[in-house]
Structure 1
Amino acid sequence: MQGVRAAQLTNLPQIDLPLPAAARADERAAPAYAAYQVNGVEVVVPHIGNGYNLLAVLRAGENYDAKLRAAFGAAAGARAVPVQPQSKAELELAAANPGAAIVSLNAFLPVNAAALFNREPNFGGPNCFNAALTAAGLMEPRKLRHVGNPEADQLLSMYFKKTPATSLKPGDVLVLNGGDHGVYYLGGGLIFHKKSYLKHHLYRIAKLEKAYYPEPNEWKPGPFDGGSPFNNAEEIRQTEAWRPTGATYGYGQASADENAKVNTILFLTEQIEKQAPNWAFAKNMGYFTERLMENLVDGWSALGKSPNPVLRAYYTRLASFRDQANQSIETELLSSPHAQGNAYEILKGVWLPRNDYSRSLVSQLLAIYGKDPAGVEKTLDAIGAKFEGSPLEQIKAAD
């Protein structure tokens, strides 16, 4: 600005450098946790790796139980439980509040959400809709798996009803931005969710409006990870709210053929829930299972059009299993740079395990298609000879 007189600057537009955003009155951050105001109580959410308890500070003469039961829709007996500080968040909170008790608020959460909070599933596949429906009690935390959009839509239509997103209640399941994310609404503006099917994304509690935001200590994709579905702080553009109805269903009308197909889906359910969490899907179920489930999603589409909602739910589970198979194989076999360059040979090596699982599955399918299950070994030979072919075609072509 040398040589410019002050008079020359008087009417120039002023450009102010942006200031740091002021902290919101209803939230506070610390190195090991974030804190939010919920019905007049400061609720502390440990960051990733800093503890498994939702927390609060309780001073002499204070009792937050009634306020928290109301905020989270918890049972009448739910109460804050004092903890001996051990995790980083608990120790940090205790150091900042000498003489006060540090209490766990997990009793105010749905039991399944409390069991999973801040934990990693340890395998690829379990996703946002699985997390939301598990928190809602429709699925079990010890049987985690992928739940695709078709299955989520079917289960929501059966056990929930749409409700205005402007009047949320604890227990609502929220479908965000046209179905690319699903969360469980805890109450008090907080949600329970898992950001994606990637094993690196933990089960978290966050503010609803920050469902897509990166969090402290959160995994970030490396150069060979192919990106993350949640690299940016995307905003919520659309919210669809579903409220549980308490509906229950009997099995309903089904033909003998439909019953046989459902029994095969139940067999696959048992196998996937056993093998996928143990990183044994590829070894024990094989790449042929993924291709076969692609075949069955196409070939059994009539189940998805049945007037019986239970049969439709079983059919949509097949599509979820197809995706779980893909994600398990990707995680178990193809997640390293070396593997990505040798995918063909690696997949060929696990195409068809000859074991009790493959024999039982193919025998069931032979019977469904009117073939003699005694021909299972010959059919397995045919499937094994057609790497990346259609296993269902070989089953249908059996003598």
Structure 2
Amino acid sequence: MMDKPDPRPSQGYMTEERVMIQQMARDFAVNEVLPIANALDPEKGEIPQDLVDRMGELGFFGILIPESYGGLGLGFFEYCLVAEELSRAWMSVGSLIARGNLFYKSVPGLTEEERDERIRRMAKGQYLGAFSMSEPSAGSDVAAVQCKAVRDGDEWVVTGSKYWCTFADRADFMQVVCRTENDPDAPRWAGLTSLTFEKPRGEFPQGVSGNAIPKIGYHGWKTFELAFDGARTPAGPKSDAEGNAFKAIVSGLEGARAHTAARSIGLARGALEDAIAFAKEREQFGEPIANFQAIRFKIATMATEVEAARQLMYFVCNELDSGRRCDKEASMVKYYAAEMAERVTSEALQILGGAGYTTLHAVERHWRDARLTKIFEGSSEIQQRIISDVILGKPVPTKAS
């Protein structure tokens, strides 16, 4: 069961255009994504290319891309509306749209014309990226990145290991965060540069090998451990961006965290809707379990938490689209929505009982995927640290008495 969008305005957020976009994404999710997810996720199958192509036709990869490049020229609000709807069916599909929307500003190109042409293809889902930042010893601690890149003439030569790079095989290019400077007197975060490797779809760049990481969820695409062994990529003229990737990464986290909140809300809503439908149909002791107060109160609490997260997400998206900083609120919505999603999907599984603990129902998929939202794009603990630092100020070491 999938509810229709609520036509009532939400603090003035839901314009007629946004309701139409939401409905279009919802129809696509229920009619095209959900059947594929139900069939492929249990066998860890991959998102079909024809579904990706269809998403490109609908403009899902170009929501944030300006109209001058063939995108829709919309904002984070619309982006997160679509992400929630797609994630309600399959979080991996809700995540896939970031491979265009959040990558267009870093598209490579030797000339402006070449870059423009690639962005136009990206808006149609024909030129998508993968991001490689984490390493075996560098996750939340981005400044710990050690994968090394050195200039050799007009090329960068990269050596080292990367971890948790999703879509590395199917992407058209990879952004790889490397250490290009190692000044012992500089801050730990300094000296990181984001390099771009173009490659054919279905392959790794020359000098790069990889193995898929066995995941308990987030199926539909593969996530890789990568080894760079003298891999080469063109090096343009030295610019201000060189050595300053840390700042660029941090500045883009607000939008990424809103996107993760949207995915979390979509997962929770999917589990909630499935639990409601099941409770109405499942009979015990001669009546539907939806009549039992224990079940009714669970559903009331679940629905309240989903809506609370959604309203906070709407606020954050509105701030982002207005150009205002909202690092604290972005961390709040990412933290709350992820924690909420795990609670709600777990409660939904409980309502389904034994049926929920099978792969015959989508609730177990939502439950597995929800657990990941507490980890990626900054763990719940990292979000708590950011929020508390804004409220209380960063901890100041005190001398032992």
Q: TM-score, normalised by structure 1?
A: 0.26
Q: TM-score, normalised by structure 2?
A: 0.26
